Structure 1
């Protein structure tokens, strides 16, 4: 089977690494890819948001499955364009991708499906939004309604922080058009967890859960990021919770999306708060999380490719996934300054030494090939250092040993990944 994987980050590196293990695969391309993916896939210079370019390449090369990594091409209609060309695509239509493209849309669907979530209001006017938070009080959550690369959420501990967030998002437009409106929610308390389910429009197959670390600093301090590390499985997310989330969230939401004429195919990422009264939905994403995807792929024992194809074709009947009991952990190594402005182009040494540590896998997230052939930093989150072991503490020790083997003074990481579990 010929496959085109779309994207060029750590999530796509993890997916590519898993896809090439399938005996069904005959050829894998990745657009645009990265130096890590290039070790086992053909990287093509087509941007992830160039929908005509991607579909054109797929048609010209006999691609039998397109796998969408990031959310942007899905919200721009990649799956729709593939369907018109007669090519199966793993990922939802643009209409179904609104589950990530608009937080207000997600809230409306959750309410209609009767799924547990936080109380909320949507605002187009910053004055009205500020008036609302003054009435509600703090702590309170302010979210840019649109896509903001995982950075459009502020958990405000004080009214001053909430009002500043409204000004930044709606007036200064720090997240661009995504901040034309905001969703303001009650602040739920508990541990967060990320749960994933494969969907075919009607049915859903549970995958596994992970716990991400959104804050940039140790002890969950500093601004939110796209994710500074993850581990799987989180002890707080029990099998009973998985069954509850499937019954009370995933299945009713699939039914509601089908009722609206936008059946959801692909992977549904359910962001959860594990509260004292049970799991409640924070948000949906319509693709694998990053770095959670890296942690999940390291634990997945089943062949991923036929499951992706079954989802894309709309028939997951008979699909079951097997997971290793060994936990996995991923430490993100980011460029200094992240999640703000970062320095790009710095060479990264020690990659082979890090990868040689038993149980370790190095995923490239924001890297490029320098003029001299060396791997250089090209983004904010640059590497995902993953490890598996019979227990979480040993996995963490291996991952941090690999981080310390790197020769990159411009990089930094959190040193407390999985602190809640350990």
Structure 2
């Protein structure tokens, strides 16, 4: 069996799911080299070499690749920050090891302003109305406040505020969800504005879906639709998070979507791809340049944003049900001949467990927190037994979790996710939740309504009512 060395740049469960897919290779003997944000216990177990680079700095990752240059055949990147910071450009220039992610030029999630201008040029009909407020264009706070309030008048306050750069200030804020008066809205605006340009765009009503596709620079291969749950608490309440869970159905569509919705999404993304690709093949787009957040409205899908990496948690819905060898998929992307990806026709549900500080849970529900468990080791032994019971139908992917002195502890972000796999969303959800419930320690908590029948019915009825109204 041919030996293949693979570099995985890791932060969170997303990378663990990709590592899991590599270890299931039937065609290759895979050695995995991990550049990790922490001592992730899953990644430590599965890798031949593991290095912790807390800030995932491209220079230090490149040094790790250089040390193992003769052993690594290619690399793949999970988190966005190294992609935005030009990791691929650097590693390929200094080591000739090919990296599966877009080059810095196409890491479009580095600027929401650049995204909006691109969509305005290529697909204006699905781009919400927006206005950019750049600090260099205004003399003082009073000047920008007048302009902001004038724009709010035009949109009747129904807006979303987004910083240009990822993780700047307080992040995205939405009228009616995060604030209900202009003064609070403007304070949120200022918390982002001090870091650079801010977009205020019209708030769109509808139901969200996540579109992901592998790309070899010449072909775009769409993956099945997934639904992410950004809000912290049941009933879609609380702050936005990195995603508390997600689901996919047995086919390519979500329950509330029609075939024409997906066809429209694919058409939109292909238009953007064509703009970037120009003629022939653009190798700068190898990997996953399109992880697009769509919102389905009365008029059809609109674009919320595009990301230049796999989704977390959405890629965890996909990796466990790949029918073909993931190493082969990666080689085809590098060679420019990836035209399709086969998946099992299964439903998958991802649910995260997170620490009590995450999403504001401890502040909102103090009585539900087991304070005696905070900071205690996490015991995954019963969940691992369930994994053996369910075989390939339950996957456990540590995320913000690390090994210390032989014990596993949660860090501050999304700690661990389980992926349930079944012949229906209901079955997959039950398996995912059972896996979470078997975990002990750390005072971890999770949303209980990810992929629930009630939530799916609400999404379906909501979109139906919008379209009937339209």
Q: After superposition, what is the alpha-carbon deviation per residue over 1:251-307, rounded to whole angstroms, capped at 9, x for unaligned?
A: 111122245999533211011001122111110011111111111112322222222
Pair 1:167 & 2:201 matched: no
Q: Which residue among 55, 58, 62 is the counterpart of 1:51?
A: 58
TM-score, L = length of structure 2: 0.81
How much does 1:48 deviate? 5.6
Matched, 1:102 2:111: yes
Q: Which residue of 1 aligns with 2:463?
A: none
Separation in 2 of the partners of 1:21 and 1:150? 41
Say whether residues 1:349 and 2:378 are aligned partners. Answer: yes
SS of alignment partner, residue 358 of structure 2: coil
Larger radius of gyration: 2
| SS of the residue 1:415 aligns to | coil
**Relative to structure 2, which stretch is displaced further, 33-42 or 10-19?**
33-42
Deviates more, 1:146-155 or 1:262-271: 146-155
* Distance change >3 Å, CA 240–CA 352, structure 1 → 2: farther
Call closer, same or farther: CA 1:30–1:130 in 2, change over 3 Å: farther
For 2:226 and 2:186, the matched residues in 1 are separated by 30
4+ runs deviating over 6 angstroms = 341-345
Separation (CA, whole Å) in 2 of partners of 1:67 and 1:366: 19
- 1:243 corresponds, among 263, 281, 286, to 263
1:300 to 1:169, Cα distance in 2 relative to 1, 3 A:
farther
Change (3 A) 1:409 1:68: closer
In the alignment, is residue 389 of structure 1 matched against residue 408 of structure 2? no
Q: Which of 119, 132, 147 is 2:151 aligned to?
A: 132
Q: Is the 8 A contact 1:327 1:388 kept in 2?
A: yes
Aligned: 1:218 with 2:234: yes
| 1:421 equivalenced with 2:456 (yes/no) | yes
1:28 aligned residue: 32
Instruction: Give the conservation status (yes or no) of the 8 Å contact 1:142–1:166.
Output: no
Which one of 268, 275, 279 corresponds to residue 256 of structure 1?
A: 275
Report if the CA contact (8 A) 1:3-1:25 is conserved.
no
- Once the two structures are overlaid, the 10-residue window that deviates more, 56-65 or 211-220, is 56-65
| Displacement after TM superposition at 1:169 (Å) | 4.7
Secondary structure, counterpart of 2:224 in structure 1: strand
Q: TM-score, normalised by structure 1?
A: 0.90
Q: Per-residue deviation at 1:162?
A: 5.8
SS of the equivalent of 1:257 reads helix
Correspondence for 2:340: 320
Equivalent residue in structure 2 for 1:118, among 120, 128, 133: 128
Report the CA distance between 1:197 and its aligned residue. Answer: 0.9
1:210 and 1:81, CA in 2 relative to 1: closer, same or farther beyond 3 A?
Answer: same
| CA–CA distance in structure 1, aligned partners of residues 263 and 354 of structure 2 | 35
Taking structure 1 as reference, are residues 27 and 345 closer, same or farther at Cα in structure 2, changes over 3 Å only? farther
Which segments of 5 or more consecutive residues in structure 2 lack a partner in the other structure? Answer: 136-143, 363-370, 458-470
Q: How many Å separate the matches in 1 of 2:169 and 2:196? A: 16
Q: Take 1:165 and 1:352, find their aligned partners in 2: how far apart are those partners? A: 46
Matches within 5 A, 1:158-237: 160=180, 163-170=183-190, 172-173=191-192, 179-233=195-249, 234-237=254-257
1:215 CA drift (Å): 0.4
Q: Which segment is superposed worse, 215-224 or 82-91?
A: 82-91
Question: C-alpha separation between the residues in 2 aligned to 1:266 and 1:206?
Answer: 12
Report the 3-state secondary structure (helix = DSSP H, G, I; strand = E; otherwise coil) of the residue aligned with 2:205. coil
CA RMSD for the aligned pairs? 2.6
Counting matched residue pairs gives 413
1:346-388 superposed Cα distances (whole Å, 9 cap, x missing partner):
23434121233222211101101123x1110112211112111
Q: Find the counterpart in structure 1 of residue 46 from structure 2.
A: 40
8 A contact 2:18–2:319 mirrored in 1: yes
User: Would you say 1:15 and 2:21 are equivalent positions?
Assistant: no
Match of 1:6 among 4, 9, 19: 9
